[in-house]
Amino acid sequence: MYTCNRKVSYTLEFMRRDVFQAIADPTRREIIGLIAHRSLNLNAVADNFDISRPAVSKHIKILTQCGLLVIKKQGRDRYCEADFKKLNEVSNWVEQYRSFWTQKLDALGDFLDKETNTDNNI
């Protein structure tokens, strides 16, 4: 029974990982920035941080589970490569709010212009 619970827990943890969780953490965003232009092996990524290698590995695991990183094995080394197709999900989500806030701010600007004109006419 304990094994079943652990397996279910692992499955739920894996299932709830998404690109938003990946970019929520500043260390993961920094890792994304490092590998955006070139692939790096795991040690090269870890050398850029003042945290333990297991901690960096955990961040890389999350980025991989979210689909932003692909790990490719070359000889004995494992290289991280960026796969930013999943960031389109973030871009689309942000875009809907960009339109919303642009409309709201334009309406506020129109309101303030009318108020200023009304105040000048008094």
CATH number, domain containing residue 15 = 1.10.10.10
**In this structure, are 71 and 36 located in the same domain?**
yes
Check pLDDT > 50 for residue 12. no
**In this structure, are 77 and 118 located in the same domain?**
no
pTM greater than 0.85 (yes/no)? no
Q: In what order do the strands lie in the sheet with 77-82?
A: 40-41, 77-82, 69-74
Question: Domain limits at 115?
Answer: 85-122
**In this structure, are 5 and 42 located in the same domain?**
yes
Q: Give the Cα separation of 52 and 40 in Å (integer).
A: 17
Write down the pLDDT at residue 7: 54
* Per-residue CA distances from 84 to 1, 41, 78 (Å): 39, 18, 19
**In this structure, are 5 and 62 located in the same domain?**
yes
2 or 42, greater pLDDT? 42
11 or 80, greater pLDDT? 80
Check pLDDT > 50 for residue 57. yes
Q: What is the mean pLDDT of residues 14-41?
A: 89
Write down the pLDDT at residue 118: 77
Q: What is the mean pLDDT of residues 42-67?
A: 95
**In this structure, are 78 and 90 located in the same domain?**
no
**In this structure, are 76 and 94 located in the same domain?**
no
Q: Give the Cα separation of 61 and 53 in Å (integer).
A: 12
Neighbours of 57 (CB within 10 A): 13
Q: Give the Cα separation of 43 and 46 in Å (integer).
A: 5
**In this structure, are 71 and 27 located in the same domain?**
yes
Domain total of the chain? 2
**In this structure, are 37 and 54 located in the same domain?**
yes
